[in-house]
């Protein structure tokens, strides 16, 4: 079932795009940024439920911000995309669960394919 979000402004009703949700994915963060600094930046747009800052080599410079309200998340995304933090311009996107699972599925399928190739002795490397 497709959930549609509506925003009432005065007498007008505005429908939010389907990709809008409460979870923001932030890229291009300074590697040394702390969760407290993230609260200072993103907390101006509404109450935050959770912030997760990447701490592994693969996730450095990224974070997830979960807002209490979808409209606060939309406001933050609209205002903070391109915001300069320590000479880095933030990339603020809505979290897309399907994209994250597609990456996991691809890696899993590649591993299964590798195991099957080894099991049946198939070598697909080009000859040298």
Domain segments of the chain as ranges: 14-96
Tell me which fold the domain 14-96 belongs to.
Alpha-Beta Plaits (3.30.70)
| pTM listed for this prediction | 0.68
The pLDDT tens digits for 77-93 are: 999 999 999 999 999 99
Instruction: Give the model's pLDDT for residue 111.
Output: 85
Contacts for 83 with CB less than 8 Å, ≥ 6 apart: 41, 89, 90, 92
Rounded distance, CA 74 to CA 94, Å?
9
Supply the DSSP string of 48-68, one letter for each residue. EEEEEE--STTTTT-EEEEES
- Which parts of the chain sit beneath pLDDT 50? 1-4
Residue from 55, 125, 116, 62 nearest 93 by CA: 62
Which residue matches tokens 């309200």? Answer: 69
């Amino acid at each position: 079932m497709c959930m549609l979000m509506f925003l009432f402004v005065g007498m007008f009703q505005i429908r939010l795009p389907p990709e809008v949700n409460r979870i923001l994915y932030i890229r291009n963060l300074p590697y040394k940024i702390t969760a407290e600094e993230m609260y200072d930046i993103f907390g101006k747009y509404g109450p935050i439920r959770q912030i997760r800052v990447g701490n592994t080599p693969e996730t450095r410079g990224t974070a997830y911000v979960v807002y209490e309200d979808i409209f606060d998340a939309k406001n933050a995304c609209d205002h903070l995309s391109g915001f300069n933090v320590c000479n880095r311009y933030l990339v603020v996107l809505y979290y897309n669960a399907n994209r994250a699972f597609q990456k996991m599925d691809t890696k899993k399928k590649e591993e299964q394919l590798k195991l099957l190739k080894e099991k049946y002795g198939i070598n697909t490397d080009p000859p040298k």
